[in-house]
Amino acid sequence: MLNNKFFSAIILSAGKSQRMGYNKMLLNIGSKNVFERTVEAFENCEAIDEIIIAAPADSIEEYGELVKKNGYAKVVWIVEGGSTRQGSVKNALEKVSSDSHYVAVHDGARPLIKSESITLVAQAAIDFGGAVASVLSVDTLKSVDDNGMITGTIDREKTVQVRTPQIFKKEILLEAHKKALEDGFEGTDECMLVERCNHPIKTVITGRDNVKLTYPEDVLYMTEVLRSRGVL
């Protein structure tokens, strides 16, 4: 526990991996697959007390075998994911322990997340009620119209790229999901839902290597990062 607070982690591993053409969670990067590398970061993080995994229906058994083989003691549930990210989080939230104070949501396809980064975001969530792993924007950002014509320049000093984990007080995340369901709103991440409820969210600048496995070429980058860490 971190500051005597119980943290639950939801790892979203139910995506269809359409751009990859196969279940990217089972793709080996070095000696371990993506699923194992992601789960281990949370398993080895002292701030996290339990893990719930949202999985495709046809992968639940295989994920369960991986959990058993690796002895992931913090994994308490593997639930069937929904048709959307939001639906998967909702299904997993139903299994979160009644003891839980905070809930972390993480993309399973971000296997380079470090346990130390999870802890930093968790501490910020305690301090502010909600926090998200982020990186500073380095490119010049432009706003465009419906025709793709530039309409202005956005001050990049006041922008960040948000990633995961995104960690919130359990009551805040439940409230945000309830409101979204009532309004028929579908968000792209948890921050979007929480923003609609006017709750503050602290950005926590973490490593730039916490990227999401989306395209086949991303495997090369992740391999090099893991090699540089000496954990390939």
Q: At residue 129, does pLDDT exceed 90?
A: yes
Position 1 scores a pLDDT of 82
Strands 102-107 and 32-33: unpaired
In this predicted model, what pLDDT tens digit does every residue of 57-99 receive, in sequence order?
A: 999 999 999 999 999 999 999 999 999 999 999 999 999 999 9
Q: CA triplet 91, 127, 130: central angle to 5 degrees?
A: 30
For residue 23, what pLDDT band results from cuts at 50, 70 and 90?
Answer: confident
Average pLDDT, the chain: 95
Is domain 7-229 annotated with CATH 3.90.550.10?
Answer: yes
For residue 15, what pLDDT band results from cuts at 50, 70 and 90?
Answer: confident
Please tell me the pTM assigned to this model. 0.95
Helix 34-43 and helix 115-128, axial crossing angle in degrees, nearest 10: 50
Q: Domains of the chain: which residue ranges? A: 7-229
Residues 198, 11: Cα–Cα separation, whole Å? 25
What percentage of residues in the chain have a pLDDT greater than 70?
Answer: 97
Is the Cβ–Cβ distance between 19 and 213 less than 8 Å? no
Q: How far is CA 66 from CA 11, 39, 48, 75, 181, in A?
A: 14, 10, 19, 11, 33
Q: At residue 19, does pLDDT exceed 80?
A: no
